[in-house]
Amino acid sequence: MLPRTLRLKRGRNTPLRTQVTEILRDAILSGQLTPGSVLIERELAERLGLSKTPVREALSLLNHEGLVQTVPRKGYFVSPITVQDVHNYFSLRLILECASAEMAAARATEEQIEQLASLVPDGYPAEDIPQLLGRNVEFHDAIARLSGNERLAALIRKLLLEMARIIAVGYVPQEHEKVMLALRARNPKAAAAAMREHICAVRDKALRVADASQLGPSDDSFPR
């Protein structure tokens, strides 16, 4: 099923294939189009009110980016997230973000802590995935910057952006409050432990999705 938010913005000078590519890329990276989802040119074209040509060109570009794959004589589907990808990315997050949380708890001011609390994304409606994920990146990026280590913060932000799709499928609501409690208490060890618990919860959920999606769609999922 295509997400309801898949809409073309009229009145732009950007080529149609570029607009379609942006829309589909965002939907994939945000998790609105989940791994293994079948992408049918005709359905996408009808939803966007276009001919199939810009849709086909967009899918070809996304195929080169590795976000979609093709099945001969069948069509396109959203690329699976591999178990190895999940392990690799989250191993890095555990190393980098636990360290940043520990340092942030030791040096953040009261004002900075309150500003950080305003970024906790758990108050958004569950269906507002783009808003949730955007706030999630802002929250983790802010903690990284509070560590006082600019290089560490840059590495974390780059990592979060690279693994946006994995975070989307593993997002666990209301986990950030535990991190905030430890930061408010100015307890570096507790902050690192809370961050570890949070990251592991997201990783474990993402692993379940990766395990289910790694083989891609079955033949029965494609129209004949």
Of residues 171 and 203, the one with the higher pLDDT is: 203
Judge whether residue 60 has pLDDT over 70. Answer: yes
Listed in order, the ranges of the chain carrying CATH 1.10.10.10 are 16-79
- The CATH class for the domain spanning 16-79 reads mainly alpha
The domain over range 83-211 is classified in CATH as 1.20.120.530:
yes
How far is it, in rounded angstroms, from Cα 159 to Cα 164?
9
CB atoms within 10 A of CB 67: 20
User: pLDDT for 149-179, tens place per residue?
Assistant: 999 999 999 999 888 888 888 887 677 889 9
Least confident range from 6-10, 131-135, 171-175, 186-190: namely 6-10
The confidence score (pLDDT) of residue 83 equals: 93
Listed in order, the ranges of the chain carrying CATH 1.20.120.530 are 83-211
The distance of Cα 108 from the centroid of its chain, to the nearest Å, equals 27
User: pLDDT for 65-120, tens place per residue?
Assistant: 889 999 887 889 999 889 999 999 999 999 999 999 999 999 999 999 999 998 88
